Amino acid sequence: MSERVLGHLHLRAVVIKECYFKSEYCGWTSLGDNEENWKLSNNKTLVKFPGHFAYIGDSFKAKLEGPLLPWKPFHQSVGLCLRFNYLMPTQSKSTLKIFLREPNREELVLVWQLVGNHGEKWSAAQVAWSGAKGIQVIFEGQGFVDKKINVAIDDVIITTENCPLRPYFAEPGFKCSDDKFTCNNGECVKKNLLCDSDFACKDGSDEDNCECPSSMFNCKEGGCLLATSVCDGTNDCSNEDDEKNCRNRCSSRYQCVDGSCISWSKTCTQTAFCRDGTNTPSVCGSANAI
């Protein structure tokens, strides 16, 4: 029996629900205690984060509950995918969760969750589920810092397709493998990236509680800096101590990384004349030079 190609079939995902929070909640309902609800932002609300989005800007918990999703029989076989952007910029235990409310079931089903700091840039997320009839999608956010954006979401789109979980560590109960370091926000990074003075975790937790080598500057609240980053006019430490005591330069003397001054004759010696031991800079050629 011979075979021949009669044509090609292209399937496109269908958008069944979307919201960009331009001026309304698009049928979503904000539910919180004591009028503590999700708020809408516009280009003038927050200078640091311009745009239209929904956010929690204080220390409280609130839900953003969607309407019943429209349903057709083919949804059951192809599934549904929720895509959105999220922002979690505070150094706190802020949380963002996604629940599904299924028909004839009282308990909400947790399908996606993040906690902690995830940087000051928007990130993309997605999660899929089987296309059962009568599903409701619920966002739950909780803030722990007042007068700041704790959690924000935008560009919510639900389509008829399957999609992989994003980010990978947003799966409820997810744990990093034994050969990886677990960041405070749930990310996984290689253990050889710990305490290398470079942030591998978005929340910087891979550089917490690290001892700095003598050739580097130790920030009081954690973290190590290269000597070239001290007194360079840029605040690299969280409490800005790398730019303190910089007004009185050492003039004709050598300046140690900790800010103290010694004569050039005391550099390149085995004796640590600098309190932090930084009197043997790279120009000496060797830490043992005399």
Q: How far is CA 86 from the centre of its chain?
A: 9
CA atoms within 13 Å, Cβ hemisphere of 139? 27
Answer for the pair 246, 259: CB distance below 8 angstroms, yes or no: yes
* Local structure of 33: helix, strand or coil: helix
Q: Give pLDDT, residue 119.
A: 94
Q: CATH no. for residue 201?
A: 4.10.400.10
Instruction: Give how many domains the chain has, as a whole number.
Output: 3
For 288, the domain range is 213-290
SS3 193: helix
Looking up residue 146, the CATH number of its domain turns out to be 2.60.120.200
Tokens for 167, please give them: 């980010």
Predicted pLDDT of residue 289:
43
- HSE (side-chain half, CA atoms, 13 Å) at 204: 17
Closest by Cα among 172, 165, 169, 256 to 217: 256
Q: Contact at 8 Å (CB) between 151 and 70?
A: no
Whether 161 and 226 map to the same domain: the answer is no
Q: What tokens does 189 get?
A: 């990074």
Q: Rounded distance, CA 55 to CA 240, Å?
A: 29
Record the tokens describing residue 234, joined without a space: 């840029």
Note whether 34 and 165 are same-domain residues: yes
Q: Indicate whether 155 and 45 sit together in one domain.
A: yes
In a domain, 3, yes or no: no
Burial class (CB in 10 A: 0-12, 13-18, 19+), 105: exposed
Is residue 10 included in any domain, yes or no?
no
Residues 155 and 225 in one domain: no
33: tokens are 């205690």
CA distances from 264 to 49, 253, 275, 278 (A): 48, 6, 15, 12
Helices within 71-137 (DSSP H only): 75-78
Last residue of a domain, one of 162, 187, 210: 210
Give the pLDDT of residue 167.
Answer: 97
Q: Is residue 145 part of a domain?
A: yes
Supply the pLDDT for residue 288.
47
Q: Write out the chain's pLDDT in tens, 290 residues.
A: 667 766 655 567 889 999 999 989 999 998 877 778 999 998 777 778 889 999 999 999 999 999 999 888 888 888 999 999 999 999 999 999 999 998 878 889 999 999 999 999 999 999 999 888 889 999 999 999 998 899 999 999 999 999 999 999 999 999 999 999 999 999 999 999 998 878 899 999 998 888 776 677 888 877 777 878 888 777 788 788 888 877 656 767 788 887 778 888 888 888 888 888 888 877 786 544 44
Q: Examine residue 9 and state whether it is found in any structural domain, yes or no.
A: no
Let me know whether 202 and 88 are in one domain.
no
Domain check: are 127 and 192 in the same one?
no
**Per the domain annotation, does 102 fall within a domain?**
yes
pLDDT for position 249? 62
